Structures are given as C-alpha cells and as structure tokens.
Amino acid sequence: MKQYMLAVRHTYDAPQPPEAEVQTMYGDVERVNEQMRGAGVWVFAGGLLSPETATVVRADGGAITMTDGPYAETKEQLGGFWVLRCADLDEALAWAGKCSGACRAPIEVRPFDDESA
C-alpha cells in the first residue's frame, strides 16, 4: 500500500472562528481520525503551530545558518497533516474529502516518493 500525505492549507492571518465552532471542528476531526484508525489507514497526524514559530536551518559549504520565521513568505501555510496508508489515490482522495469537511480547510493530497534511491 502506498502512503499519502494529506496537508491542511491554513491562512494564519484570517480571523479565528468563535471558540464554540473551533471545538466542534476539533470533535469532527477526531471522529474522522477514529474512522481512519478503524479502517487501518491511519499512520500519523499532527497540527502545527503558526509559521512564526518556525526556524529555517540551512547548510551551505559546511556552514550552518538559522533564520527565524517560515521558509516561504506566503499567505497560506501548512497548518497540519495526516499520513495515511491507502490502496490507491482514489482512497486517499475519499479520506481527504472527509478531512476537509471536518477541519473546514482545503486539503492537498500528495503521494510519498517510495522508490528506492
């Protein structure tokens, strides 16, 4: 079975919904997580803090530099992700639809490159 990353696109500067709506969303996400665990496709998932908490580490000619902030300056950033083991892309896309509904955000689906080097 192939592994897929379902990436949650999040706009960090958008207004936050009311707390009650956020709690409902968390409950919906947990229900989808339980469905994925029950179906045996769940590998790992996690939410991410805002891009301002990031540190970019670069190796260049043996020198290591570190820069605060996100790697890319963009309105939308990765807000969280799921890693699933699915039979094919169609199954991953079906789960992505459920995840998008639960977290109320667009989901990008990408297969892992599992070819030997």
Residue 62 carries which side chain, given as an amino acid letter? G
Give percent of the chain above pLDDT 90.
Answer: 65
Whether 32 shows a pLDDT value over 90: the answer reads yes
Confirm whether 117 is domain-assigned. Answer: no
pTM for the predicted model, two decimal places: 0.84
Confirm whether 69 is domain-assigned. Answer: yes
Confirm whether 58 is domain-assigned. Answer: yes
Whole domain around residue 103: which residue ranges?
2-111
CATH code of the domain containing 26: 3.30.70.1060
Confirm whether 39 is domain-assigned. Answer: yes
What span, in angstroms and rounded, lies between the C-alpha atoms of 63 and 26?
Answer: 42
Confirm whether 116 is domain-assigned. Answer: no
Q: What mean pLDDT is reported for the chain?
A: 90
Number of separate domains in the chain: 1
Choice among 24-28, 29-33, 70-74, 92-96 with the minimum mean pLDDT? 70-74
Give the mean pLDDT of 77-106: 94
pLDDT band at 65 (very low <50, low <70, confident <90, very high): very high
Structure tokens at 26: 């968390």
Confirm whether 47 is domain-assigned. Answer: yes
The 3-class secondary structure across 30-97, one letter per residue, is HHHHHHHHHHCCEEEEEECCCHHHCEEEEEECCEEEEEECCCCCCCEEEEEEEEEEECCHHHHHHHHH
